[in-house]
Structures are given as C-alpha cells and as structure tokens.
C-alpha cells in the first residue's frame, strides 16, 4: 500500500470516528431534553448514513477509490439507515412510549434518576465507539480499488435479502400491533415470524454482511480480514447484547412467548419445530 493510499485510509477512518462522535453528541443532547435514551435507536441508522456520506466526500476530495463502488456503498447504507430510522421514529411517535425496557435494564433505572453521566458511559459512548467499527467496510471501501467486482454483486444480493427480512418483518409486526388485542393471536407467529423470533435482527445482520462483502472483501483479502470485525460485531450485538438477549428478558415473562420460543428459532430462519 502506497503512502498516499495509507493516508487516504487513515483520513477516512478518522472521518468515520469524528462523524460518529458528532452524531452521538447531538443524540445525547436530544435525549437529555426528552428525558429518555431510546432516541438513540433513531440515531443508530442515521449515524451510519452520516459516516458513509462523510467518508465518500473525503474520498472524492482525495481522488481515492472508485466512484461506482463508492456510490453503491453510500446508496445501500443510506437506504438501510434511513428506512430503519424512519421506521423507529414513526413507531415511537405513534405509540407515544416512554423509555424502552431494554435501556432501563442497561441503565439501571430511568434517565432522570441515573443521570446523563451513566447514559453517556453505558449507551451513547458505547454506540459512538461501535459505529465506526461496524462502518469499517465503508470507510475502507470508499478509498480502495475494487479487487473483485463479483463480490460487490454478491454483497448487494446479501444486503437485499437482509433489507427484505427487516422491512417485511417490521411491517408484519406493525400490522399485528395495530390489530385489536382481543382478536389477534397471543404471539405473532405467522409470516417471517414463524421461522425466526427476530426477522428484523436477522435482516440487520445480513445487511452488514452484505456491506462487508461489497466494501471490505471486494477490496482484497487483506481489507476483508481487517474489516471482518464489522459484521461479526454487528451480529454479536444483535444476538447477545442489545438485541435478542435484552428483548427476550422481558418477552420470556409471557407464557405464550415461552411456548412460541420452544418451537421457533431465535435468530436464523428455520422450519418451526
């Protein structure tokens, strides 16, 4: 790697870190005003969009990367991030909810009781640090030459599968919640939810494995190995940290959900047992 390419790479990664810091700083200020940290869920998708656009601008200014692949990476991150943020914003506005039980568990109580210092340390600081790590395939991809174009195409297909799972799963859940409580099933176990208890989380993971293929591995095997931490970290967070694990601590208190969980895969889509 030439000195120029290395400097472009360092600048792109630094841009991702600065963009993530700015997004989480603004989000923390909004959370303080609203008295709830769940607003970070809206900022999560937007954070990746801001990072992708900022890194692409830096790459264009430096004359690095390949325009077609850079545009593709910005597009797929943009579509996913904006859709996710809009969906979460619309859902939270429609239900006028308070704090999310997941964040009450993480914080150890409501924001007004634990204080902003705890929220920054346990939520905003953590997510601000994770954002540029997961966005590594984008930061690397926009300043690198394409090593294998078929991998970009495969990445796009994997991304599309993930977006479909996430979008359809969210739509099915919204329709279930909108139905009168007395007429709907005790647990949503139809559609994609028949095969996985969390099609939206599975879709999220697929999206970032697709981004890694198109932005990381398609830039060469060294770039692929260096950025592999991104989809691995996203999948780990979705399954074991902020996603499935935290949500099901609450859901498993419902007998109907326990029965549903006994026959339905937690993450990967599988035929029901």
Structure tokens at 197: 């208890």
Q: How far apart are CA 1 and CA 267, in angstroms?
A: 39
pLDDT bucket at 2, cuts 50 / 70 / 90: very low
User: Cα torsion for 186, 188, 194, 195, to the nearest 10°?
Assistant: -120
In-domain check, residue 205: yes
Burial 239-253, CB ≥16 within 10 A → b, else e: beebbbebbbeebee
pLDDT band (50, 70, 90) for residue 102: confident
- Of 144-148, 176-180, 239-243, 266-270, the range with the lowest mean pLDDT is 239-243
Mean pLDDT of the chain: 91
In a domain? residue 273: no
The residue-averaged pLDDT of 259-273 equals: 93
More confident residue, 215 or 114: 215
Per-residue DSSP letters for the chain? --HHHHHHHHHHHHHHHHHHHHHHHHHHHHHHHHT-GGGHHHHHHHHHHHHHHHHHHHHHHHT-S-HHHHHHHHHHHHHHHHHHHHHHHHHHHHHT--S-HHHHHHHTS-HHHH-HHHHIIIIIHHHHHHHHHHTHHHHHHTTS--S-HHHHHHHHHHHHHHHHHHHHHHHHHHHHHHS-TTTS-SS--SGGGGT-S-HHHHHHHHHHHHHIIIIIGGG-HHHHHHHTHHHHHHHHIIIIISSHHHHHHHHTTSHHHHHHHHHS-SSS-----
- Is 121 part of a structural domain of the chain? yes
**How many domains, in total, are found in the chain?**
1
Domain presence at residue 39? yes
The two tokens of residue 229 are: 């931490």
Residue 268 domain-assigned?
Answer: no
205/244 Cα distance (integer angstroms): 12
User: Considering the domain boundaries, does residue 168 fall inside one?
Assistant: yes
Which range is least confidently modeled, 124-128, 242-246, 249-253? Answer: 242-246
Residue 188, in any domain of the structure: yes
Phi, psi at residue 2, to the nearest 5°? -70, 165
Section 54-68 average pLDDT = 93
Cα–Cα distance for residue pair 124/51, rounded to 1 Å? 16
Reported confidence tier of residue 97, pLDDT bands at 50, 70, 90: low
Q: What is the pLDDT of residue 273?
A: 85
User: Residue 96: what pLDDT?
Assistant: 56
Domain span at 145: 3-263
Q: Would 270 be classed as within a structural domain?
A: no
Give yes or no for a contact between 16 and 62, defined as CB atoms under 8 angstroms apart: no
| Structural contact between residues 76 and 211, judged by C-beta atoms closer than 8 angstroms | yes
CA dist 40 and 47 (Å) reads 10
């Amino acid at each position: 790697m030439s000195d120029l390419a290395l400097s472009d790479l360092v600048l792109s990664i630094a841009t991702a870190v600065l963009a993530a810091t700015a997004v989480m700083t603004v989000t923390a200020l909004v959370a303080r005003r609203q008295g709830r940290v769940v607003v970070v869920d809206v900022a999560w998708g937007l954070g990746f969009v801001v990072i992708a656009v900022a890194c692409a601008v830096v790459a264009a200014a430096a004359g690095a990367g390949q325009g077609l692949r850079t545009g593709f990476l910005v597009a797929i991150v943009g579509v996913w991030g904006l859709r996710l943020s809009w969906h979460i914003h619309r859902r939270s506005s429609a239900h006028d909810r308070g704090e999310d039980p997941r964040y009450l568990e993480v914080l150890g109580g409501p924001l007004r009781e634990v204080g902003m210092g705890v929220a920054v340390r346990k939520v905003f600081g953590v997510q601000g640090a994770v954002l540029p790590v997961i966005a590594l395939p984008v930061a690397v991809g926009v300043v690198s030459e394409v090593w294998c174009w078929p991998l970009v195409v495969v990445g796009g297909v994997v991304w599309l599968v993930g977006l479909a799972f996430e979008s359809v799963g969210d739509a099915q859940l919204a329709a279930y919640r909108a139905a009168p409580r007395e007429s709907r099933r005790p647990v949503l176990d139809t559609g994609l939810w028949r095969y996985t208890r969390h099609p939206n989380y599975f879709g999220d993971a697929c999206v970032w494995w697709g981004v890694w293929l198109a932005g990381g591995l398609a830039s060469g095997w060294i770039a692929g190995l260096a950025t592999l931490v991104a989809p691995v970290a996203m999948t780990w967070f979705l399954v074991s940290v902020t996603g499935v694990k935290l949500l099901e601590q609450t859901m498993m208190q419902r007998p109907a959900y326990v029965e549903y969980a006994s026959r339905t895969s937690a993450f990967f889509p599988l035929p029901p047992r």
